[in-house]
Chains A and B, each alone.
Chain A
Amino acid sequence: MIFQKTKGIHIDGRKGISKNLPLQEYFDPEFVYIHLVKPIGPIKSIVEIGEEVKIGQTIALREGFGEMNVHSSISGTVTAIKKVWHASGKMVEALEIKNDFKNTLDDSIKPNKNIASLTREELVNMMKNSGLVGLGGAGFPTYIKYLTKVKIDTVIVNAVECEPYLTCDYSFILSYPEKLLKGLSYMMRAADAQKGVVAFKNYNQKIRKVLEEFLPKYPNIKLFEVKDVYPAGWEKYIIERVTGKTYSRLPSEIGVIENNSTSAIIFSDVVEHNIPLISKPITITGEGIKNPMNFYVPVGTKVSELVEKCGGYIEGLDPKNANYIAGGPMTGRAILIDDLIVSDSLGGVIVKPTIDGNHPECLGCGKCSDVCPVYLTPTEIKKAFENKEIDLLKQLNADKCVQCGLCSYICPSHVEISDSVVRAKDLLRKGGK
């Protein structure tokens, strides 16, 4: 209790539904929709309606902090700017592109011949131009982590995927194990780091098996197993386990950069073939899907098309009594209309019947305080939030919440406690107004 290290608890992963299924490639949707809003900063379109675009062509620019390029994921014609659903639960504008099924590549996509002589700046620049973002769900531009002035000695690739149900990262690694190690070695060069670590869950020994085949070529890369707990995929959890050190705000304070495994695999394509971030893996799963699958699809594909490929919803599914979840079940969001688009921050879609129950009030068991990975006391934060006691919320460190959702998960009385804590955190962020 005194030496507080981040912690987690074991939860039922339910990954068996889609875990052992191969990665299905699906590269010819009729339309794709490229969002013009990303987690940070607005995005300005630089193509006209009716213009022909090629795969990998820059079609929009993200401006301000985290500026980078956004690319077309198919070849075809820009047909409209439409409002579509985003994984954040809001409707946002998107470029609609109609596929011409010719798959013409942009001129910039060609094998890179002088990989060995690329400098650190050139690699970071490639990262920026390719539009690479954190594909674990946050969608934070990757290159910003590499602009740090601090000396970096370790780059960690996060292959943990601790969210239940989701298996796309896992199947993506099994499909492209060598690309993962290559991507990591390029990332190490981009950070001028000496050590590379691939962290994965201890029960995924298959990852060890596929990586060990290529490991002798990369003497600076080590494998690291973390326990099967949630939230083991959280950046701070992994870094504390791998390095034995902790930090307060950013991993670079202790000379560490952490990236998602899918980002690493895509970065190897960026460096070797100049292919920007235009496709990504996604899991369509849950008890409400007939045949759950892992897909590898262009960014902007309609999820409804993928659900159809899965055989649709199970028979007798009543949408009114089911959740359509964008992202993982612990941190994801309920989408009201099943008209979602695959964006770069969407790791999966889960369709799951809801469970009703006659739930009593909070009985005060304190399990939420026990499981909190950052040692907060959710019951007290909820009380202070309901009484609008801003000073107390500050003292209770409500802004340190990592939104893992464990407090609601563990609650035997089904109290929406993590929702209250997240709202308290937002209240503090806005300065108590």
Chain B
Amino acid sequence: MARFANGKAPFLRISDTKEHSTSTIMRDFMIGLLPVVLFAWYKNGILVFSQGNANFWEMLYPLFFIIIGGLSSVFMEAIFFFYTSEKDSRKPKLIMKKLSTSYGLIPGIILALMLPMYTPIWVLMFGCFVGTIIGKMIFGGFGHNVFNPALLGYAAIKFGLMGVINAAGGYFNASEVLIDAYAGATPLAMLSGNSLLSFDTVVAPYGNLWDFFLGMTPGGLGETSFLIIMISFIWLTARKVIKWITPVIYVGAVFILSWIVGALNGQTEIWFPLYSIFTGGLIFGAVFMATEPVTTPKNPLGKVVFALMLAVLTILFRFVGNLPEGVGTSIIVMNIFAMPIDKYTSIIRSNKWKKPAYLQMAIIFGILIVLGVYAVLKAGNMYSLFIPIFQIGGVF
């Protein structure tokens, strides 16, 4: 008689095969980032070099910038693991093992891709520090963070150190800075100054919509190209790394809401909603950050609600709040709500939309509808028409 090992059912696990483990998911995610990295290098390095506006080393710089972002995140995690582990387990082998299941490279790379090219390296490292150490490790490491680490780092830079970036060259690369027509920092920044919403003021200075689609406009290193990120999106969904639900609903809802906002302002042509989804890093945020599994709802219904709320907030920040980069802010705000959304949509889902969930359903959709209506009316300058009603009702 032999004594066998204990174990828990099921005894078949997809994670026992290499091709389905979390490590493979993360590897596929990195492969999904690759086209974006290459595009960032092409647009800000190779193209500038070929136009004669950069020397050989300056051509390689965008690539270095991204690699430094990734490596400094991993390095900071290693230091964190070193100082938090017991004295006798501070061995390189053990720390390497922890690093291999912490995936620090990814937030660093994503952060670098969001920043403009001439961001000083120390600012990038500061962002990595805020993202990985404050945003992730303090919360308990991979799988426990509330905020998207890369976005938290980005937000810290955005609100604290934007002046440093602007002084160092802002959003333009060496070629773009030579074009006189580029007035605002990014195409969306033009929008907040121009309530007229005409094609000539917001799109024409940067070329045509095709340029927006390809991503040949000023902006963060890798977040400008709709086309390239679509390619990444197709790869990531085909490999089942991310679900299509969030990006498709997010971008789709922004498209529709922008169209309505445009129509209310007398701008019914299709270029406006298209322009709205091609700019501001919307697709980058939708594909790489709104799908980040740890900080977003986990069940399909939760993902739908999450994506709709993101769209409403983005419209609100963009057209009402004078915050042109509404995408990052909306995702960070919604990260806080991911947990309650997950909880209540789970209850709705597992009760098959029957009785016990009416109240939660009403709350979730109530918030969604009120915010959405408010955003659209306000942005469409229709809000003033309704103020008397609110005053009668004593709401405001």
Contact = CB atoms under 8 A, between A and B. Distances in A.
B22 A323 contact: no
A364 B143 contact: yes
Interface stretch (A105-113, A203-211, A258-266, A335-343): A335-343
B350 A335 contact: no
B16 A405 contact: no
Interface in B136-168: 141-144
Interface stretch (A149-157, A233-241, A413-421): A413-421
A350 interface: yes
Contacts of B10: 329-331, 405-406, 408-409, 418
B349 A334 contact: no
22 contacts: A11-B12, A14-B12, A164-B12, A323-B4, A330-B10, A330-B11, A332-B11, A334-B9, A335-B4, A336-B3, A337-B4, A338-B2, A359-B22, A360-B102, A377-B350, A380-B299, A380-B342, A408-B13, A409-B14, A413-B21, A414-B21, A419-B9
A380 to B, nearest CB: 4
Nearest to B351: A397
B349 A375 contact: yes
Given A325-B11, A331-B10, 10 more contacts: A320-B4, A323-B4, A359-B15, A366-B298, A369-B300, A395-B351, A408-B10, A413-B15, A418-B9, A419-B8
Contact of B142 (A304, A360, A418): A360
Given A322-B4, A359-B101, A375-B350, A330 B300 contact: no
Contact of A332 (B9, B23, B346, B351): B9
Interface string A372-385: 00111101100000
Contacts of B266: none
B142 A395 contact: no
Interface in B275-325: 293-301, 303
A411 interface: yes
A387 to B, nearest CB: 12
Given A11-B12, A357-B16, A364-B298, A338 B1 contact: yes
A338 B4 CA distance: 7
A352 B7 CA distance: 11
A116 interface: no
B356 interface: yes
Interface string A158-185: 0000001000000000000000000000
A92 interface: no
Interface secondary structure of A, over-half rule: loop
Contacts of A322: 4-5
B16 A355 contact: yes
A324 interface: yes
A363 interface: yes
B347 interface: yes
A339 B2 CA distance: 9
Contacts of B25: 363, 365, 412
A189 interface: no
B97 interface: yes
Nearest to B293: A364
B239 interface: no
B384 interface: no
B15 A414 contact: yes
Interface of B: 1-16, 20-25, 97, 100-103, 141-144, 243, 293-301, 303, 342-343, 346-347, 349-353, 356-357
B346 A396 contact: yes
Contacts of B357: 395
B346 A380 contact: yes
B8 A379 contact: no
A358 B11 contact: no
A180 to B, nearest CB: 28
Contact of A363 (B142, B301, B353): B142
A1 B245 CA distance: 13
A330 B9 contact: yes
A330 B12 contact: yes
A428 B201 CA distance: 63
A362 interface: yes
Given A369-B298, A369-B300, A413-B15, A405 B293 contact: no
Given A364-B143, A364-B298, A369-B300, A416 B350 contact: no
A100 interface: no
A321 B272 CA distance: 63
A366 B15 contact: no
B245 to A, nearest CB: 10
Contacts of B22: 359-360, 363, 412-413
Contacts of A352: 11
A213 interface: no
A410 interface: yes
Nearest to B347: A395
B369 to A, nearest CB: 18
A207 B102 CA distance: 49
A28 interface: no
A419 B11 CA distance: 12
Given A360-B143, A363-B294, A4 B343 contact: no
A334 B6 contact: yes
A416 to B, nearest CB: 5
B9 A354 contact: no
A370 interface: yes
Nearest to A330: B10
Nearest to B18: A357
A400 B143 CA distance: 27
Contacts of A323: 4-5, 7, 11
A364 B294 contact: yes
A361 interface: yes
Given A323-B11, A329-B12, A411-B14, A397 B4 contact: no
A370 B300 contact: yes
A1 B293 contact: no
A412 B20 contact: yes
Given A395-B356, A412-B14, A377 B4 contact: no
A339 B6 CA distance: 15
B21 A336 contact: no
Nearest to A12: B12
B12 A361 contact: no
Contacts of A360: 22-23, 101-103, 142-143
Contacts of A2: 353
Contacts of B350: 374-377, 396-397, 400
A29 interface: no
A17 to B, nearest CB: 13
Contacts of B243: 366
Interface centre among B2, B11, B23, B357 (most CB of A within 10 A): B11
Given A361-B144, A364-B298, A4 B352 contact: yes
A320 B7 CA distance: 11
B238 to A, nearest CB: 16
